[in-house]
């Protein structure tokens, strides 16, 4: 049931449900994006957090003081666990931000800083 395929990053496998007894998954177009500079594949329009998880990435940020790893938790934009730096913008709720081709997604260290060259 697990499709193992595709380019590396994370666990090196793409962890997707192939066949499901009840559901049919309609996925967007396959696109490339970058996680900490590493090229990965995802589906356009799915949340960034899901695309990362499918690539085996579990750690999305590190806390300011204790450097504790943080990942996915509520998936509805309410908990702040999955904040990352996306195209230079910190504290992006990756669980409800759609993936776009070429996106630069980075692990967030600490609380993030105001991006350069932005209002």
Q: Which of the residues 72 through 111 are near other proteins (CB under 8 A)?
A: 72-79, 86, 89, 91-93, 95-98
Choosing from 5, 22, 65, 114, the residue that interacts with other proteins (CB under 8 A) is: 22
Spell out the long-range contacts of 5-12 with Cβ–Cβ below 8 A and sequence spacing 24 or more.
6/41, 7/39, 7/40, 7/41, 8/38, 9/35, 9/38, 9/39, 9/40, 9/55, 9/56, 9/57, 10/35, 10/40, 10/52, 10/55, 10/56, 10/57, 10/58, 11/55, 11/56, 12/56
Quick one: 38 or 46, whose CB is closer to other proteins? 46
Binding mask 36-65 for other proteins (x = CB under 8 A): ---------xxx--x--xx---xxx-----
Residue ranges that bind other proteins, judged by CB under 8 A: 1-2, 15-17, 19-23, 25, 27, 45-47, 50, 53-54, 58-60, 68-79, 86, 89, 91-93, 95-98
């Amino acid at each position: 049931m697990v499709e193992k395929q595709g380019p590396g990053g994370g666990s090196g496998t793409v962890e997707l449900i192939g066949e499901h007894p009840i559901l049919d998954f309609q996925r967007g177009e396959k696109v490339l994006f970058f996680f900490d500079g590493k090229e990965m594949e995802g589906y356009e329009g799915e949340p960034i957090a899901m695309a990362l998880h499918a690539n085996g990435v579990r750690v999305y940020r590190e806390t300011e003081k204790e450097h504790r790893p943080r990942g996915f938790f509520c998936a509805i934009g309410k908990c702040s666990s999955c904040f990352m730096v996306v195209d230079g913008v910190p504290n992006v709720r990756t669980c409800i931000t759609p993936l776009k081709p070429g996106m630069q997604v980075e692990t967030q260290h600490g609380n993030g800083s105001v991006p350069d060259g932005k209002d």
